Amino acid sequence: MNQSTQNQFNDILRQQGIQVGIKPIEGIPNEKCRLEEVERLGVLEKDFSVDSEYNSLTQLATITTGTQIGLINILGSNIQRCKMDFGFSADQSAMAQELPREISVCQYSLLIPKETLIIEDMFLDERTKNFQKLEAYSSLRFYAGSPLVTSKGYSIGTLCVLGTEPKKITHDQVEGLRMLGDLVVHSIENDFLKKQNNGRKEVAHFNQNESMVRHFSTSSILFADFVGFTKLVEKLEAGDLIETLTVFFKGFDRLAKKHNVTKVKTIGDCYMCVSGIPEQEKEHALNMCAFALDMLKFVEGINIQHEVLEKPIWKLRIGIHSGPLIANFQVGAFDVWGDSVNIAARMESSGEAGKVHISEKTADHLGSEASLIARGEVELKNKGCFRTFFIN
């Protein structure tokens, strides 16, 4: 249909959505910047069908999650355009090509733009229970959507899967969907670069000699500091204090290399590091937790020497959280930021000396075989309640 007819049809659908009680989302974070990113990449108008890679990724999303339907949806200011679908009939495909954003399930992903949105039963979830009253959604019960977050850190849409029955999916399936979403974004940005460079396909690679700010959809962040450091400062001479800290930090640096962990910086007695970037390897949480346990063993070894020499004992406290972040690579410098970094810092400050305190997100990455001690709900300053664990 032409755009004028499509606009009229969208208005009808919007009215139907209002009538059945569907509430459009409000207060989308960074919406202006997000829409600028959609426009910059030209994805609302882009034809995805010319590249079979998008079709393959959409099919893989359904195979990975064990669902019937897979979609690549781009979200504009008031519309959603389906750029690739798998598992739809011809009529369903035509219907899904453009919908008002106000009646799209994917709109809810914009409120948590860096986490996979999972709705196990759309008929029961408060956000989507009224969608069944619309013909387009009447047979759909399950939804999972991984946000398509660009290298600048803004969500332009989702790679989503749908099912006709209520469903639960595993952590590995969620991670698989996330990785496929990353590949969709990678293809979109490479297509954009190709267009900008007169047909030459230039893939962006990480180079430590170049400046780059980039979003990473998964990582693990660690903060560690010494409990009672202020009292140690009062007891020790400045030279002894600096010498001891240097021994600890150099030891941590060696252990970081062993476990494929990258040090970000030290601030006073605080040691901060990250794993999973830039390679985005699956084992980032496992590597980080193994590193943390080795840190404790290293401190314990130094303390044995201190006891013999009648020097003060140092007690290390460690916190770890896993999630997305923004990394800033500069020549000779490196830093990370984002909500995941702030939560990791809170995990450390709310932990206990001699223990590795991890969030539920990190625990999910470790799997069922990890030996953990549940701590229950912990209030993290300015972040709310989180389920947390100590590594046993």
How far are the Cα atoms of 55, 99, 172, 181, 255 from residue 60, in angstroms, in the given order? 9, 24, 14, 11, 37
What CATH number matches the domain at 212-391, 3.10.50.40, 3.40.1190.20, 3.30.70.1230, 1.10.10.10?
3.30.70.1230
Question: What would the DSSP string read from start to end of 305-373?
Answer: HHHHTTPPP-EEEEEEEE--EEEEEETTEEEEESHHHHHHHHHHHTS-TT-EEEEHHHHHHH-TTS-EE
Structural domain boundaries in the chain: 3-196, 212-391
pTM to 2 decimal places: 0.84
Dihedral angle computed from the Cα positions of residues 320, 322, 327 and 333, in that order, rounded to the nearest 10 degrees? 20
Helix H or strand E encompassing 11: helix 3-20
pLDDT in tens, the chain (392 residues): 677 788 888 899 999 999 999 999 999 989 999 999 999 999 999 999 888 999 999 999 999 999 999 999 999 999 999 999 999 988 889 889 999 999 999 999 999 888 999 999 999 999 999 999 998 899 999 999 999 999 999 999 999 999 999 999 999 999 999 999 999 999 999 999 888 876 554 444 545 455 678 899 999 999 999 998 888 877 777 888 888 899 999 999 999 999 999 999 999 899 999 999 888 888 999 999 999 999 999 999 999 998 998 888 899 999 999 999 999 887 667 899 999 999 999 999 999 999 999 999 999 999 888 899 999 899 998 888 999 999 98
Quote the distance between the C-alpha of residue 291 and its chain's center: 21
- In this structure, what DSSP letter does residue 39 have? H
pLDDT of residue 306: 87
Quote the distance between the C-alpha of residue 71 and its chain's center: 20
Give first-to-last CA distance, the chain, whole Å: 61
Closest CA to 252 of 265, 233, 236, 239: 265
Enter the tokens of residue 52.
Answer: 């079979």
Give 236-267 pLDDT, tens digit per residue.
Answer: 778 888 888 999 999 999 999 999 999 999 99
The rounded distance, in Å, linking the Cα atoms of 192 and 194 is 5
pLDDT of residue 210: 54
The rounded distance, in Å, linking the Cα atoms of 137 and 116 is 20
The rounded distance, in Å, linking the Cα atoms of 269 and 224 is 8
Look at the domain 3-196 and name its fold.
Beta-Lactamase (3.30.450)
The rounded distance, in Å, linking the Cα atoms of 110 and 74 is 11
Residue pair 33/64 in contact (Cβ under 8 Å)? The answer is: no
CA triplet 209, 211, 217: central angle to 5 degrees?
110
Question: What would the DSSP string read from start to end of 138-194?
Answer: TT--EEEEEEEE-TTS-EEEEEEEEESS-----HHHHHHHHHHHHHHHHHHHHHHHH
The number of residues making up the chain comes to 392
pLDDT of residue 106: 97
Beta strand pairing call for 79-86 and 98-100: antiparallel
